[in-house]
Amino acid sequence: MRERQDSIPGLESLRRRDDDAISWLVNEHQALVLGLAQSMGLRGADLEDAAAEVFAHVYRAVPGFRGDSQLRTWLYRIAVRTLSNWRQKARSNFTSLTEEPHDPVPCGPAQLAENAERNQRIWAAVARLAPREAAAIDLHYRQGWPLEDIAAALNCPIGTVKTLLFRSRQRLRDMLAGEEDEP
Amino acid sequence: MSHTPDPLDEIVNDALRLRPMPAPIDGLEGRAIALARREEAADAARKARLLSLHRWSAALEWMAAGLVALVLLLAPAATSSDSTSGEGRYSIQNVVAAEDDGSAISAAVDPQLLSKLAMLGALMYLAISNVWTPRPSLRFNPP
């Protein structure tokens, strides 16, 4: 069954790479790509360069997009591969979020500050996961995608997505427990 | 059996939902298109180089095959020659001379030269067809 294409302004104009269509494509999916890059631990100039590379690959590949899958899952598949390669390339100078200054923790009641700190630790732990695990976590928790769409985006069966999520949670638990044990 | 929710699930859920998204990047579209066009131009140049190399290697393959064929044509003549006489044995030009004279072609070619030529042709063919022949991919595959 062909999936819905309602949100696409025009498949043909996308394939022809019309300016308006490309502009829509980038604006509409920018947050998705940037969110994934952020979940994989990229930030600053790395994040911007990686996002530009993702959309460059999308721009080159879009004439071949047949519309057999949803545009966002197709695009996300390219994003996961590109960002995984990017992180692999940059692994030597890749620094996880824990090694960089944290985002400002909001002032206020102690509970709020504690929650913010815990969230920072979770974000940092997600950034240390394998790229596919980070992508699964990002799509499931942050973007709220259904399992079927995550499976399509990661190009694997739903069972594998469930395993990925289970394993990622397990690893997150281990990492967070390890941090708590540290003096 | 009652299903106990995983507390970590809730914590991760909250933490990730609350995570602020990165700010949109100004001019991302322009940067991406410029990068894509640079890559396309580099790809086109690489494909042109590969195609040119491909044509050259095809031409060399034909030359090598021609060399082998020439040797095969001349080989019977060489083997039937009288190797003890020593007359007219040392070059291919002598084949033509021998034909012009109306004398037997069989007296013209050195079998050792022929075997070297055959070896050279065969080696050239193998080397070109197995090592040097590029098969350019004409399709862009995203990483």
Q: Contact at 8 Å (CB) between A83 and A37?
A: yes
With an 8 Å Cβ cutoff, is A11 touching chain B? no
Closest to A174 (Cα-Cα) out of A144, A142, A140, A133: A133
Name the interface residues of B facing A (CB cutoff 8 Å).
Answer: 6, 8-9, 11-22, 24-25, 28-29, 31-33, 35-36, 39-40, 140, 142-143
Residue B126 is predicted with a pLDDT of 75
Q: How confident is the model at residue A100 (pLDDT cuts 50, 70, 90)?
A: very low
Residues of A in contact with B33 (CB under 8 A): 22, 56, 59
Nearest residue on chain B to A138, alpha-carbon basis: B16
| pLDDT tens digit sequence for A56-91 | 999 999 999 888 888 889 999 999 999 988 887 766
ipTM of the complex: 0.74
Closest to A105 (Cα-Cα) out of A94, A116, A115: A116
Interface test with chain A among B6, B9, B12, by most A beta carbons within 10 Å:
B12
- Determine if the pTM surpasses 0.80: no
3-state secondary structure of A169: helix
Is the pLDDT reported for residue A146 higher than 90?
yes
Residue with token string 């002598």: B94
In angstroms, the separation between the Cα of residue A53 and the nearest Cα of chain B is 6
Q: How confident is the model at residue A108 (pLDDT cuts 50, 70, 90)?
A: low
| pLDDT tens digit sequence for A2-26 | 444 445 568 888 888 988 899 999 9
In angstroms, the separation between the Cα of residue A78 and the nearest Cα of chain B is 7
Distance (Å) of CA A56 to CA A26, A37, A44, B28: 10, 15, 19, 10
Nearest residue on chain A to B34, alpha-carbon basis: A56
Closest to B133 (Cα-Cα) out of B68, B61, B74, B73: B61
Per-residue pLDDT of chain B (143 residues; tens, 9 = 90+): 445 667 777 888 888 888 888 888 889 999 999 999 999 999 999 999 988 888 887 888 888 877 877 777 776 665 555 444 444 444 555 555 555 555 544 455 677 777 788 888 887 777 777 665 555 554 555 54
Interface test with chain B among A122, A145, A167, A176, by most B beta carbons within 10 Å:
A122
Q: Do A34 and B12 touch (CB under 8 A)?
A: no
Is the pLDDT reported for residue A99 higher than 70?
no
DSSP A1: -
